[in-house]
Amino acid sequence: MEQMKQHLLLVGCPDRTGLVHLITGALYKQGLNIVRNGEFVDRENGRFYMRTEFAGECDYDQVRKELAGLGNEQGTTWMRFYPPRPKDVVVLVTKEHHCLGDLLVRHAYGDLNARILAVVSNHEVLGDLVRKFDLPFHFVPHTKKDRQTHEREVLAVVRQYPIDYLVLAKYMRILSAQFIESFPSKIINIHHSFLPAFIGANPYKQAFERGVKTIGATAHFVTDDLDDGPIIAQDVIPVDHTQSARDMARAGRDVEKITLARALGLVFDDRVVVTGNKTIIFD
């Protein structure tokens, strides 16, 4: 039997009675089959969010007409229809291999729901690793250049590829506001700390000096505020007084790569909605 076409609908609108019935009813009128559905009501702000996977022959324009009454004077309404597909990404790295290596293996075996189009780095260290997976590697050195010049060169390389997301897999450079503005809500970073604790550089050293009993990692969207963008996924592991800052960093690498992979899985499957400085996760 021929498989029906798959579709995805994401909705955000002011909350009111009957929205689930209205939306699912519009799909039912076209004979569409709902495969999975998730809803969330932000009661504090009076907002309703819904993610619906459905199958069949869909006239998006007709469904939009059916749902024209979703909005009201109390707030904005947005609606996104599209067939799900793997996302196209470019990965930025520096010298550390663990997150990149994990992503390359997942990509090679089709576990990432994405196409890694290229890897860009300000060091040559990881070039051989990337080339083993038959992917383009671009070395864009930063030495003897100001940040603006280097970012302009990186941006020129990235723009060669039609990307959906830019992934910072331990890219140990702070991006300027101008660079970030080129990819709004499209840059994903893995930070080696359970944010908002220990932002910035050397978080494992900070954690060791503070004597913490738990360390973690945070995957988040990148904004102008350092390590303060909307959080997608976090995880932690226990540590104790016998572990040095170096021991903590070594243990933290596993948490980092798992957290990044989980966050990317959510984003690439269109399960993440950004609202303000928060995310809604349809898991």
CA angle 133-221-172, nearest 5°?
60
CATH superfamily of 87-281: Formyl transferase, N-terminal domain (3.40.50.170)
Q: Could you give the CA distance from residue 283 to residue 272 in angstroms, rounded to a whole number? A: 9
Residue-range domain boundaries for the chain: 6-82, 87-281
pTM: 0.91
Same fold, 6-82 and 87-281: no
- pLDDT of 278 reads 94
Predicted confidence (pLDDT) per residue in 101-129, tens digit: 999 999 999 999 999 999 999 999 999 99
Alpha-carbon distances of 175 from 35, 160, 186, 223, rounded to whole Å: 40, 19, 13, 9
* pLDDT value of position 2: 54
Give me the CATH code for the 6-82 domain, please.
3.30.70.260
Q: How far apart are CA 206 and CA 153, in angstroms?
A: 33
Kindly report the number of other CB atoms within 10 A of residue 107's CB atom.
19
pLDDT over 70 for what percent of the chain?
95
Exactly one of 59, 111, 225, 227 is catalytic; name it.
227
Nearest to 112 by CA among 121, 120, 103: 103
What CA–CA distance (Å, rounded) separates 253 from 249?
6
End-to-end CA distance of the chain: give it in Å, rounded: 29
pLDDT digits (tens, 9 = 90+) for 133-158: 999 999 999 999 999 999 999 999 99
Residue 87 to residue 98: CA distance in whole angstroms: 22
The answer to whether 52 touches 36, Cβ cutoff 8 Å, is yes
pLDDT of residue 228: 83
In order, the DSSP letters of 168-184 are: ESS--SPPPHHHHHTST
Does residue 88 have an active-site annotation?
no
pLDDT of residue 76: 75
Q: What is the pLDDT of residues 18-74, one digit of tens each?
A: 999 999 999 999 999 999 999 999 999 999 999 999 999 999 999 888 888 776 555
